[in-house]
Amino acid sequence: MTIDIREEGRRALEEEFFARLNFELKEKLLAEMSRREAIIELSRASGIANEKVLEILLDAQITPGTLQALSLVPLVRVAWADGVLEPAEQEAILKAAAAQGIDPNHAGYDALKSWLTEAPSDTLFNTWQNYVRELGMTMSKDAFAKVRVEILGRAETVAKAAGGFLGLGSKISAVEREELEKIDEAFEIFH
């Protein structure tokens, strides 16, 4: 009985191929299961049931731990409106973060620090807007109005932090005022 070396080689290659394919499928399945679990956890933490919004949040690296930091995006957006983050603006943002319990030990602190180091892309603001839209659909009108007032107030505090020239004129620049209006518009969608 002769062993066909070519047949044996072919079988070995075939087994290797299917072993690799099985491994890749298993990894893909595990990744999908992990993503599904992350979506469930994010839903629990946020109260959001809309899976599309949860996917958007997850794609933007928002996790249950960093969800709380997402509320600071409007403040960061206003601070970077003129292309420069002034020390007084950063201080105002960090003060607002601390008031929410976001300190160096908080899971969202690293995300916040990265936003203070480099201006975040429009994608992050769009993610925040999606989050606000979903809040508008899940919260009562009164509770949503309170969130709106709180966020706009904190964003305006940041805008005023480094504004004005020698204490004269408006403390809020034209580009900061534009950003404040965009933030306010995000709350007008449902209420």
Phi, psi (5° rounding) for residue 36? -60, -45
36 shares a domain with 62: no
Q: How many CA atoms lie within 13 A of 183 on its CB side?
A: 28
Q: Are residues 178 and 87 in the same domain?
A: yes
Together in a domain, 21 and 62: no
Task: Assess whether 113 and 31 both reside in one domain.
Answer: no
2 pLDDT above the threshold of 70: no
Determine the pLDDT at residue 166. Answer: 45
Please tell me the predicted confidence (pLDDT) of residue 25.
55
Report how far residue 62's alpha carbon sits from residue 151's, in angstroms, rounded to the nearest whole number.
Answer: 19
What sign results for the dihedral spanned by CA atoms 161, 57, 139, 183?
positive
pLDDT tens column, 112-156? 999 999 999 999 999 899 888 888 887 888 888 898 999 999 999
Q: Are residues 40 and 97 in the same domain?
A: no
Domain residue limits at 173 = 51-187
**Residue 131 and residue 67: Cα distance in Å, rounded?**
10
Do 80 and 37 belong together in one domain?
no
Structural domains in the chain (count): 2
163 in the same domain as 124: yes
pLDDT at site 175: 92
Q: Which of 26, 46, 66 is the last residue of a domain?
A: 46
Q: Which residue has tokens 């518009």? A: 185
Mean of pLDDT values over 55-84: 87
User: What is the per-residue pLDDT for 57?
Assistant: 82
Exposed / middle / buried, residue 81 (Cβ in 10 Å: 0-12, 13-18, 19+): buried
Q: In terms of domains, do 40 and 56 share one? A: no
Helix (H, G, I), strand (E, B) or coil at 143: helix
Contact call for residues 73 and 186 (beta carbons, < 8 A): no
Q: Over 80: is that where the pLDDT of 13 sits?
A: no
Mean pLDDT value of segment 186-191? 73
